[in-house]
Amino acid sequence: MRISEISSQDFRQSLHEHHQEETQSSTFSHLETLIKQIESHSPQSTLPENLFRDLQFGLSQLTSTSSSLSNSDKIKIWKLSYHLWNACVDLSNATAAKFTEDHAKFRQFSADLLLLAADVTGVPSSTFKCASFYYKTGLIWHDLRKFDLANNCFEKATDLTSRISTANVTDTEERKILLGLNIARSRTAWEVSDRNLAINLLNRGKTLIFGSSENYKALANQYLVFAKSLLSTKEASNLNDGLKLMNEALELCERGLRIVKRQDETIDLKGLKFKTLRFIAALHLQKDEFDSVLKCVRVLRDDGGDDHPSLSVLAMKAWLGLGRHGEAEKELRGMAAMKEIPEVVWVSVVEAYFQASGAAGAETVKEIFLVLLGKFHVTASSAIRIVRRLAGEGGGGDEGRVRVKVVAEVVSDDRMVALFAGKEVVKERTTMRTVLWNCAVGHFQAKDYEMSVEMFEKSMLYLPCNLEHNILRAKSFRVLCLCYLGLSQLDRAEEYINEAEKLEPNIAGSFLKFKIKLQNNDVDGAIAQMQSMPTYLDFTPGFLSLAAHEALACHTFPVAVASLSNILNLYSSGKSIPHTTEVTVFRTIVIILMQDPGNRYEVLKYMKRAHTRLSELGPELFFGKGEVGNREMKWFGVTSWNTGFKAGKEKNFEVCAQFFRLASEFYGVVVIDKAQEYDIMVCKSLILSVTAVVADAMQKQTNLLEAELRQAFKLLEKAGKILTSLPADCMSANDQSSVVKPNFVFIYTVQMFNIRIQLNGVEPQQLQLVKSFADSKSCNPTNLIQIGFRALDGAHSNHEVAEFALTTGLSSLLASTQPDYQTIALVLRKLIELSSIHHKGRDNDDSDDDVVYGMYKQAHRIMIGLKEGEYPVKEGKWLAMTAWNRGGIPLRVGQVDIAKRWMDIGLDLAKKVHGMDNYLSCMNDFVARLEKHIAAKKGGLGASSSSSV
């Protein structure tokens, strides 16, 4: 290389160095200006946003030239850094506010700036001072929960201090920084859930204690902090780890106590040791290790740490855990004698004791509480906590009764009542009343009315006697009335409800008065009270329903009916009642009334009223729609039918007729598609209604008026139309499953015949009616014969109908497989009598005799082949004797042939009748003499003039 080239290179280097010096000088000046701006900044205003950016730019320029910094430059950096740091301190002191991120950034800048000059000469412990900047900045970042930035600061500080051997560190402050850095890094690691690193850092800190009591205390305290953090999670795995950390803290405390000499240091370490032991005891309690708890407490007390209130709490809970309530009670009573005990502590203790001992410890809790109440200033909120714990959830049982007794004594104490007096405890007084009220409600629901009375009455101690609280007092009186009703102490109940009504008259009070009158069996009074309910402003129809339910529960049926009747009046006035239909009310009334058979007329009245409302509203509005309405309609129809049937059995035909008439009306309602069964029930009901009307007239021995007859005729006419419309197989006389039983058709026919004949006399339609019945499948010979007999009764008898019915019926009887000869004999006699009367006086007498003679011959043919006695003897004798005697008149008038014919048939009949032997002998003798007479006459002899037997 040439000499010229060498000189040129040196020149360029000198120029570069000169440029660096100018740049550094400019940077220092710029940084100094910025820092002065911060120093002069008012704490109340905000720093410019670009200020930190300008500082960072200056720092980056200095960093780029850090290798060329002279010692004097580093001194400048130290000055600038300290100026900025002190400015930050002044700002924070002036604002007295929490650190912000901007503040932390300036502190961070100050530490980073100082790091450029950390190896400056002439500044003692420069490395530690730089590390302290990072340490303090890291603490600020930690408080701001910027754990990554905090950890970065702590690590830089650790790197700075790690260059120095701890054996060479003698300064107390520097030693404090070394331990503080470990603890700070440990705290940050703990916050980011790096628990292993955190504990490892704490363990390293044991080598940095340097025999200082403060360091022992700081490290032990951090172990304790971590342990408390683990305890707060309440996880079983953490409890063991927490116990290990507490034991580390306890060991540090004991080590520290062995080396410290100053009394103040001993006191501080002992305080931390006692605190650690209390937490260890609490941890053992949490793990149900009660013996270990007691050991910790014993150590504390033996070592002079028994003045802390929590020791009694721990000991008491441990004794309770071991089931030794006597020792627990001693601890509790010992606490009551302690002075200046914090309220929160004894409240917690009392709660814990009672929670474990239950009702058995209630009396002790009461005594302790009253002692504390007189000894200390107890707040209302604490008193509420104790009372709430004593009262529990309410409810019955022996335990509940013990609780109520204790609570009653506590809350009625004058000091307790005075505690809740005054305007400043209005909220607490309301809360206390609510607690007592809820307890009373629990016992009320358990039907323990004595205990509920006790609590309701005590709750009123916390209810001021003024106009503002009259409504609540009235409510309390009403509830007490209910309780005494439950106890059947009606006088006390009435006393309370009267007081309530004075304060606040309302429908609830009226209803309670109603209940009292019910339970006193004051029927008239209960009805009057019920009828007064609608006059209250807060009346709702539901109270009438409740009144009816109460009356039913007391079996006071007149009151129930009166209440339901009032509901019907509301419906009639156009009011609607929620959850209750009018038809349901009617049905309920009828059901109630039907329980007493003597209420037939009342039942009839309400059934008629129901029918009237049905007519006014229509089926859908009254009964309801669809299947619901159909069921309601059927119920009213069935009830009317059954009640009419019962009245008929009781011979109360007037009521019977009206019920059957109502049944026809209800069954006649069209709710859904009309079923045939409903038409049939309408038909049956109409027939039975007319039958009952006729039976009632017969029972009263009166004749039906023409209007009544015409009404009956219309009903039967309607029934007849239904019968005509029914299929023939619905009325078969031989089918027992027929929808319309034959007797209904028979009854219809009989009643229609009777009504027609009373209205119009004898007319052809009557015979046609009977003939129609005879042609129907419902007809049987017995019914026809009955119609025949009925046609002969009364002033308006119809011989034609009678003759047709009897003749047709006789034919049917004879055609049967097992003829009823008793009935046949009666019909033959009636036909013979009827023919004798009916044909008497006609011109063709021979024809009339032939008709009657034919009936006697028919009787003879019937008797031929019968066993002895099968044909009624009495009727057989009647036939034989009347036939014989019929020959007497012709014989007298000389009609011997006619007389002989009658005598012969009489003789033939007599031969078929048992017990007529004497008559036969006489008859034969007379016939023999008659034949002689006839022969003699022919020979000129006279004849006898009589053939009477």
Residues 832, 930, single domain; the answer is yes
pLDDT at 323: 82
Q: Is residue 458 part of a domain?
A: no
The answer to whether the CB of 341 falls within 8 A of the CB of 376 is yes
pLDDT at 477: 93
pLDDT at 733: 44
Residues 126, 204, single domain; the answer is yes
347-406 pLDDT tens trace: 777 777 777 776 667 777 777 777 777 666 778 888 888 788 777 765 656 667 777 888
Of 743, 762, 764, 745, nearest in space to 754 by CA: 762
Average pLDDT, the chain: 82
**207: DSSP letter:** G
**What integer is the mean pLDDT of 451-460?**
92
Least confident of 336-345, 480-489, 510-519: 336-345
Q: Is 305 helix (H, G, I), strand (E, B) or coil?
A: coil
Q: Is residue 689 part of a domain?
A: no
Q: Is the pLDDT score of 475 beyond 80?
A: yes
Q: Is residue 700 part of a domain?
A: no
Better-scored residue on pLDDT, 7 or 437? 437
Residues 109, 197, single domain; the answer is yes
Q: Is residue 661 part of a domain?
A: no
670-697 pLDDT tens trace: 655 556 778 889 999 999 999 999 999 8
Domain region containing 572: 529-618
Cα–Cα distance, 736 to 308 (Å, whole number)? 100
Residues 808, 826, single domain; the answer is no
Last residue of one domain, picked from the residues 618, 645, 662: 618
Q: Is the pLDDT score of 731 beyond 70?
A: no
Q: Is residue 230 part of a domain?
A: no
Q: Is residue 758 part of a domain?
A: yes
Q: Is the pLDDT score of 823 beyond 60?
A: yes
Residues 86, 15, single domain; the answer is no
Using the structure block, give the residue that is written with the tokens 């280097």. 13
Cα–Cα distance, 161 to 216 (Å, whole number)? 20
The answer to whether the CB of 113 falls within 8 A of the CB of 59 is yes
The percent of residues above 70 in pLDDT, for the chain, comes to 87
Last residue of one domain, picked from the residues 618, 636, 668: 618
Residue 402 tokens read as 């013990």
130-187 pLDDT tens trace: 888 889 999 999 999 999 999 999 899 888 888 777 666 767 778 888 888 889 999 9
Q: Is the pLDDT score of 127 beyond 50?
A: yes
The answer to whether the CB of 731 falls within 8 A of the CB of 745 is yes
Better-scored residue on pLDDT, 496 or 914? 496
Residue 639 tokens read as 């009830």
Instruction: Read off φ and ψ for residue 832, nearest 5 degrees.
Output: -65, -45
pLDDT at 3: 45
The CA R_g of the chain, rounded to the nearest whole Å, is 61
pLDDT at 517: 93
Residues 812, 934, single domain; the answer is no
Least confident of 215-224, 636-645, 664-673, 729-738: 729-738
Residues 827, 947, single domain; the answer is yes
> Domain count of the chain?
5
Residues 80, 204, single domain; the answer is yes
Q: Is residue 219 part of a domain?
A: no
Q: Is residue 533 part of a domain?
A: yes
Residues 825, 815, single domain; the answer is no
The answer to whether the CB of 460 falls within 8 A of the CB of 476 is yes
**What integer is the mean pLDDT of 492-513?**
92
Residues 811, 859, single domain; the answer is no
Confidence of residue 322 (pLDDT cuts 50, 70, 90): confident
pTM of the model: 0.62
Residues 206, 73, single domain; the answer is yes
pLDDT at 8: 46
Last residue of one domain, picked from the residues 767, 800, 819: 819
Better-scored residue on pLDDT, 436 or 10? 436
pLDDT at 490: 93
- CATH number for the domain harbouring residue 607: 1.25.40
Residues 135, 56, single domain; the answer is no
